[in-house]
């Protein structure tokens, strides 16, 4: 496990960009943390480093977004906060967002194994410190 501290949104985005340098198509990243901890900010930094040029916003109400990135890569950004029980959902719910041809970030992944969400390559956990500071744990 690696532990980092960021001192504001720009530093959290920069850490996301560093994380993106380690990712390849097919990778799944679980992003955990309290509301407002910087999950989408970290994903935005990763998306920018992967070549996404348009807006990167929280998919809380849409459930997921897909972004075109450099070299034809697709980056998926999923937020499962509003889904209480993934096992009760349609098995194809996340089919367009998880797969070998894309990098997927899942905010609020299920605590227990769910058939719809395979194990991650990396898990990132963000937590509030003081002000804009965040503690970020990265586990391979």
pLDDT score at 94:
85
Domain count of the fold of the chain = 1
Q: Is 24 exposed, middle or buried (0-12, 13-18, 19+ CB in 10 A)?
A: exposed
Cβ-contact 63, 80 below 8 angstroms:
yes
d(CA 126, CA 34): 7
Q: pLDDT, tens digit, for every residue of 62-88?
A: 899 999 999 999 999 999 988 766 667
**Residue 30 within a domain:** yes
- According to the model, what pLDDT value does residue 113 have? 54
Tell me, what's the pLDDT at 56? 96
Which DSSP string do the residues of 82-125 spell out, in sequence order?
T-S-GGGS-TTTTTTTSSTTEEEEEES--SS-BTTBPPPSEEEE
The reply to whether 58 falls in a domain is yes
CA distance linking residue 112 with residue 110, whole number of Å: 5
Q: What is the pLDDT of residue 100?
A: 87
Domain ranges, residue 46:
16-90+99-118
Q: What is the CATH number of the domain that holds 113?
A: 3.40.50.300
62, part of any domain: yes
pLDDT tens track for 83-123:
766 667 776 778 889 988 999 999 999 876 566 788 999 99
Query: Could you tell me which residues are beta bridge partners of residue 106?
Result: 30, 78
Distances (CA, A) of 57 to 54, 66, 73: 10, 11, 18
- Say if residue 5's pLDDT is above 80: yes
Radius of gyration of the chain (CA): 14
Helices 9-20 & 39-49 angle (0-180, nearest 10):
50
pLDDT tens-digit readout, 33-59:
999 999 999 999 999 999 999 999 999
Is 23 inside a domain boundary? yes
Asked if the structure places residue 5 within a domain, the reply is no
pLDDT band of 135, cuts 50, 70, 90 = very high
Confirm whether 28 is domain-assigned: yes
| Prediction pTM value | 0.93
Q: Is residue 71 part of a domain?
A: yes
Residue 129 domain-assigned (yes or no): no
């Amino acid at each position: 496990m690696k532990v980092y501290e960021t001192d504001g949104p720009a530093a959290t985005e920069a850490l996301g960009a560093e994380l993106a340098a380690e990712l390849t198509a097919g990778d799944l990243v679980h992003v955990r943390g309290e509301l407002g901890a910087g999950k989408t900010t970290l994903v935005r930094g990763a998306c920018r480093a992967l070549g996404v040029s348009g807006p990167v916003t929280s998919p809380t109400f849409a459930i997921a977004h897909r972004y075109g990135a450099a070299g034809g890569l697709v980056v998926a950004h999923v937020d499962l906060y509003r889904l209480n029980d993934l096992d009760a959902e349609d098995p194809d719910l996340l089919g367009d967002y998880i797969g070998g041809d894309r990098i997927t970030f899942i905010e609020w992944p299920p605590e227990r194994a769910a058939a719809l969400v395979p194990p991650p390559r990396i898990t990132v956990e963000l937590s509030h410190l003081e002000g804009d500071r965040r503690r970020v744990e990265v586990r391979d």
